[in-house]
Structure 1
Amino acid sequence: MHKNPIAAIATPGGAGGVGIVRVSGPDLIGLAKTFLGSEPKPRFAHYLVLKDAHQEQIDQVLLLYFKAPASFTGEDVLELHCHGGARVTQLVLNRVMELGAPEGIVLAGPGEFSLRAYLNGKIDLVQAEAIADLINAQTDAAIRGANLSLQGRFSDQINELIDQITQLRILVESTLDFPEEEIEFIEAANAQQRLEKIMNDLEQIIQTSRQGKILRDGIRLALVGSPNVGKSSLLNALVGEERAIVTPIAGTTRDRIIENISIDGIPVHVIDTAGIRESNDVVEQIGVAQTWDEIARADIVLLIHDVTQAPEANFVDIEKAVRERVHPGAHILDVMNKLDLLEGQKEGHTKIGLGVKQIFISAKTGEGISRLQETILRFAGWEGNAGGGIYTARSRHLRAIGLAKDHLQKAMMHGFGGNRALELFAEELHCAQNCLGEITGKLLPDDLLGKIFSEFCIGK
């Protein structure tokens, strides 16, 4: 249990109509009385004029008091609502720290309010992460997905699976004391069918979680190619406005240009890179080095070609280098640009099959752009639904679920394979249960817990 009250500014920096300073601690009645001169009424807005140590007015403030455990953190919570200027909000926080010094008040660390809510059982770890996802969501679909996680949709599915494994573990471990009857008992209890159901349910969670990760993280899309093939023109076409300079001069783009867009509700981070070529220009060399870095980080690389020009002599080497640099699981799509310059040949170029990793477009006229957008989503693994019923998920969730799946497969082998070993069967079930417990935070190392909440913003 935390003893020291914590305080932080809960609203973003800059000017605004309202700024909020939040305080959480085990007993804040005394601090509230210091501000008001009387005991606060829970969930009631109290007006006061906040003054500094010299009795000079800082601001007119509304104070709200939430009595434990009926608060976000499960502790007593005070919120001071002031005018939203960056300086005035900081002065309010400073005064809170001065008046709270006798109670040992300290500045909150990143995510510490959410951490206390988690530790006090107000939310589980998935819901805590969903708060951060909701704050950082870039599309309506991502907001809906984060809200589903915050409401407990993901947690409920994981907890249901843990309960099924627990029941199966109880069944298996209860037979270990009766080895002469264990096989008949296991078969009579339909243990294999129960394990198969668990594995099928887990597989459905895996599919949904993969979609949820795309919804949360988006797709990192790198536009790559030789100079003057139309990378910047394609960026402008995808963004829908002139974001990059386009000229006939090769090598116009020397630095990365990153734009965040939405395709059917899915966040897409588009990176226009410097054209790949040998150059004596130091600035261009730096830009090309950044291009290789982006290729290594991208989920999808659009390798852009000018259909009106023969490839450069070294382009085969460039393509080979691109394919060697991409991370496992990334996709490369050949995009044949400037289709508008190929009069009379468009019909054959626009017909592409689902398995073809090549598409013809005109970034100038927009021809083929919608098909390209559909292909980007398909290559990323998005299956549609635009977030309806799909909750957000993270890489750590997928890793934990993948490990649980491995343990369940081993459990199936030990329980119903050629060489049965029920002790190992029970142990693999236990390991799978622990992996799933890490997702909601029931079984999570302290160091990983600290890392997760360190990624939150201060004041949340």
Structure 2
Amino acid sequence: MTLDTSPIAAIATAPGRGGIGVVRLSGKNLWPVVQAVCGKDEGTLAPRHACYLPFRRADGSLIDQGLAIYFKAPHSYTGEDVLELQGHGGPVVMQMLLARCLEAGADIGLRLAEPGEFTQRAFLNDKLDLAQAEAVADLIEASTEAAAKSASESLSGAFSKVIHDLVNKVTNLRMLVEATLDFPEEEIDFLEQSDARGQLAAIRATLDDVFMHASQGALLRDGLNVVLAGKPNVGKSSLLNILAGSDVAIVTPIAGTTRDKVTETIQIEGMPLNIIDTAGIREADEDGSGPDEVERIGIERTWGEVARADVILHMLDADRGPTVEDEKITERFPDGVPVIRIWNKIDRSGHKPAVDKMTDATHIYLSATDQVGIDLLRGELLRIAGWQQTVESRYLARERHLIALKAARDYLESAALHAAVDNQASDKSLDLFAEELRLAQERLSSITGKFTPDDLLGVIFSRFCIGK
């Protein structure tokens, strides 16, 4: 990816009102802006020192007063010259200050930054690798304390260091293989004397450990999308309120009370879950009555959420038992998505709280009204997610990281087959061994950005907030 070196500017603080707001600039030759806005000539603003001064319009009138901090390249976030203007955090004031900077910097080509462009420049200028750059966004978006802690670890380079160590070990093993292929006349039993199999086994064991922590970190970052689905008045909203610990959904005996989805993020033993309550699914009754237009739209949205679910909680009435409508709902669930059938209202049916693992789904008997059996549901959700409370994720991970780690693991598994004793280190098996190691190395390196395609980089940074 080529770097656009034109200077950029943006508001770096979140939209809305605040005590302090920051306008950030990055690029070469920012002094015309410094002189025009802050009244400071080149060299008079000491790097890394906060200077309290007025921010002025072109006619000299005052926009605001605040702090100007200049960071000289390469000792800055982006690796370029950076200017940060910290003023009062009103949105109008910030927009006026940004507009003034763009006006003053027109002659040097100053433009508005794209989303994530400051961090993108930090990556392209080798201030951060790609995993660390992604951790910046993850830290900003962290929804739990544990997620923020893991994102900080990734930003500090913990995840990158593990990946770099793995890449180095695979690279060293590749060097040994290539040397053996280049000098076959030495007739050295490579696999035995260099303990290639032992080295490969150690690499695979380390990769398995990294994958386990990364999987835990991916859950910590994204959470689990859990959709409550079922007929009206089976207790979906009541269950949501219990899991959330507050009345986030309206509960009435009137069919169709929930017209649109209600989403609440909760934690179970540190794992975030996005619980989505949906409109009750029903068709027209025998008397012709049924959902009105608004409710029908809500039901359509219910099926949309079901299609995107990681786990479906199918709520049923234990007192009334299964119905034809329940079976019709079940038939429309997508294949491959775990389903928990929750038999609610056991306070009326006489059932005991229980978990029944059957071939079609796991069935859980509980009472949302009496709050009985709720812990059984929590435990089953943790089991489905693969959450391990005893494993503390050292870093957050994204889906692309898991895909790369899994691919590398598969290549190393193939390498182990080619290095098996039965192959007796033939030239062909060594060639294949070396190729599998090369592919594993490339997939691991893609995590930190060494072999990452430009189009993927564009997607990653476009999802950042503007000003970061």
**Larger displacement relative to structure 2 (211-220 or 299-308):** 299-308
Q: Please give the alpha-carbon distance, in whole angstroms, between the structure 2 residues aligned to 1:54 and 1:177.
A: 73
1:436 maps to 2:439 = no
Matches within 5 A, 1:144-163: 144-163=149-168
The structural deviation recorded for 1:295 is 1.4
**Cα pair distance change 1:427/1:126, threshold 3 Å:** same
Matches within 5 A, 1:89-238: 89-181=94-186, 184-238=189-243
Q: Please give the alpha-carbon distance, in whole angstroms, between the structure 1 residues aligned to 2:298 and 2:32.
A: 59
In structure 2, the partner of 1:17 is 19
The structural deviation recorded for 1:321 is 2.4
Q: Secondary structure at the match of 2:395?
A: coil
| Contact 1:303 1:335 (8 Å CA) reproduced | yes
Alignment partner for residue 341 of structure 2, among 334, 345, 349? 334
| Contact 1:110 1:455 (8 Å CA) reproduced | yes
Q: Please give the alpha-carbon distance, in whole angstroms, between the structure 1 residues aligned to 2:201 and 2:346.
A: 52
The structural deviation recorded for 1:401 is 0.9
Question: Over residues 384-407 of structure 1, what are the superposed CA-to-partner deviations in whole Å (9 max), with x where a residue is unaligned?
Answer: 14x734311000001111111121
The structural deviation recorded for 1:228 is 0.9
Alignment partner for residue 266 of structure 2, among 261, 267, 270? 261
Q: Please give the alpha-carbon distance, in whole angstroms, between the structure 2 residues aligned to 1:25 and 1:233.
A: 55
Q: Please give the alpha-carbon distance, in whole angstroms, between the structure 2 residues aligned to 1:354 and 1:158.
A: 40
In structure 2, the partner of 1:448 is 456
In structure 2, the partner of 1:390 is 394
**Cα pair distance change 1:188/1:86, threshold 3 Å:** same
The structural deviation recorded for 1:182 is 5.3
Question: Over residues 165-213 of structure 1, what are the superposed CA-to-partner deviations in whole Å (9 max), with x where a residue is unaligned?
Answer: 0000000001112335456133211111111111111111111111110
| Contact 1:14 1:85 (8 Å CA) reproduced | yes
Q: Please give the alpha-carbon distance, in whole angstroms, between the structure 1 residues aligned to 2:60 and 2:456.
A: 45
Q: Secondary structure at the match of 1:294?
A: helix
Alignment partner for residue 407 of structure 1, among 395, 406, 411? 411
In structure 2, the partner of 1:423 is 431
Question: Over residues 123-161 of structure 1, what are the superposed CA-to-partner deviations in whole Å (9 max), with x where a residue is unaligned?
Answer: 111111011001001111111111111111111111100
TM-score normalised by the chain length of structure 2: 0.92
Q: Secondary structure at the match of 2:189?
A: helix
| Contact 1:27 1:75 (8 Å CA) reproduced | no
Q: Please give the alpha-carbon distance, in whole angstroms, between the structure 1 residues aligned to 2:30 and 2:256.
A: 62
Q: Secondary structure at the match of 1:49?
A: strand
Q: Secondary structure at the match of 1:134?
A: helix
Question: Over residues 269-299 of structure 1, what are the superposed CA-to-partner deviations in whole Å (9 max), with x where a residue is unaligned?
Answer: 1111122222353333322222222112111
TM-score normalised by the chain length of structure 1: 0.93
Q: Which amino acid aligns with 1:446?
A: D
In structure 1, the partner of 2:30 is 28
Q: Please give the alpha-carbon distance, in whole angstroms, between the structure 2 residues aligned to 1:53 and 1:36.
A: 11
In structure 2, the partner of 1:287 is 298
The structural deviation recorded for 1:370 is 2.9
1:458 maps to 2:458 = no
Q: Please give the alpha-carbon distance, in whole angstroms, between the structure 2 residues aligned to 1:190 and 1:448.
A: 38
| Contact 1:216 1:392 (8 Å CA) reproduced | yes
CA RMSD of aligned residues (A): 2.0
**Larger displacement relative to structure 2 (217-226 or 405-414):** 405-414
**Larger displacement relative to structure 2 (134-143 or 249-258):** 249-258
Matches within 5 A, 1:362-401: 362-385=367-390, 388-401=392-405
Q: Please give the alpha-carbon distance, in whole angstroms, between the structure 2 residues aligned to 1:207 and 1:182.
A: 40
Q: Please give the alpha-carbon distance, in whole angstroms, between the structure 2 residues aligned to 1:367 and 1:182.
A: 71
| Contact 1:414 1:425 (8 Å CA) reproduced | yes
| Contact 2:228 2:315 (8 Å CA) reproduced | yes
| Contact 1:111 1:454 (8 Å CA) reproduced | yes
| Contact 1:2 1:26 (8 Å CA) reproduced | no
Q: Please give the alpha-carbon distance, in whole angstroms, between the structure 2 residues aligned to 1:16 and 1:93.
A: 16
| Contact 2:53 2:67 (8 Å CA) reproduced | yes
Identity %: 49
Q: Please give the alpha-carbon distance, in whole angstroms, between the structure 1 residues aligned to 2:444 and 2:190.
A: 27
Q: Which amino acid aligns with 2:404?
A: A
Q: Which amino acid aligns with 1:11?
A: T
Matches within 5 A, 1:62-81: 62-81=67-86
Q: Secondary structure at the match of 2:415?
A: helix
Q: Secondary structure at the match of 2:332?
A: helix
Q: Please give the alpha-carbon distance, in whole angstroms, between the structure 2 residues aligned to 1:121 and 1:147.
A: 19
**Cα pair distance change 1:338/1:452, threshold 3 Å:** same
How many residue pairs are counted as aligned between the two chains?
Answer: 452
Q: Unaligned regions of 5+ residues in structure 1, if any?
A: none
In structure 1, the partner of 2:287 is none
Q: Please give the alpha-carbon distance, in whole angstroms, between the structure 2 residues aligned to 1:16 and 1:37.
A: 27
Question: Over residues 251-283 of structure 1, what are the superposed CA-to-partner deviations in whole Å (9 max), with x where a residue is unaligned?
Answer: 222221112222222221111112222235333
Q: Secondary structure at the match of 1:244?
A: coil
